[in-house]
Amino acid sequence: MKKPGLWRAVTTAALAGAAVLTAVVPAGADVRPTRPCAAGEISAEIGEGRSPNPSTSRLFTISLKGVSCLLSGALDYIRFYDTSGRPMDVRFSDKFAVAPFENVWVDDFRRPVVYVSAPAGNGGMPIGSMTFSVPTAPESELTAAWPAPAGGPLMLTKIMRPVS
């Protein structure tokens, strides 16, 4: 037995709900950016994460945030500073940051990352901050506070989507 009145009410409610959702989403919000990030459009934060193998390594995450644009490649012009702001000679290897590189979307909800692996242990150098540039905006210098002392050599990945 069909209930045309009920079907019409459900259909009308569904269409009204879809119209409300469409009105809430800004025009072009789901359009993927096609341009690379430029100087001044991104910033960085560094945090210590949970290492998949804590007996042998520590894991730090450099999180990149900014406007709707694309990043690709590996960090460049990397420098470390101690807690007083003096330059440090920190050994690192970027052997995990090799091509092919993919374009990674950056916006308010998508934050590409660079993973940094350090040898296990609580000791290490008193790293206070790190500066670097990204390939799409080599003239920009990003600076981020380093969360804890770390020993070297550090291993850095390429710019990538976060691993969950």
What is the average per-residue pLDDT within 49-65?
Answer: 90
Residue 142 is assigned to a structural domain of this protein: yes
Range of the domain at 141: 42-156
User: Residue with structure tokens 């970027």?
Assistant: 94
Residue 108 is assigned to a structural domain of this protein: yes
Structural domains in the chain (count): 1
Residue 12 is assigned to a structural domain of this protein: no
Residue 99 is assigned to a structural domain of this protein: yes
The pairs formed by 160-163 with CB atoms below 8 angstroms and a separation of 24 or more are: 160/102, 160/104, 160/112, 160/113, 160/114, 160/115, 161/104, 161/110, 161/112, 161/113, 162/61, 162/111, 162/112, 162/113, 163/115
Residue 21 is assigned to a structural domain of this protein: no
Element (H, E) at 75: none
Residue 67 is assigned to a structural domain of this protein: yes
Q: 78-136, pLDDT tens digit by residue?
A: 999 999 999 999 888 877 778 889 999 998 889 999 999 999 976 788 999 999 999 88
pLDDT of residue 29: 54
Report the share of the chain in percent with pLDDT over 90. 46
Residue 73 is assigned to a structural domain of this protein: yes
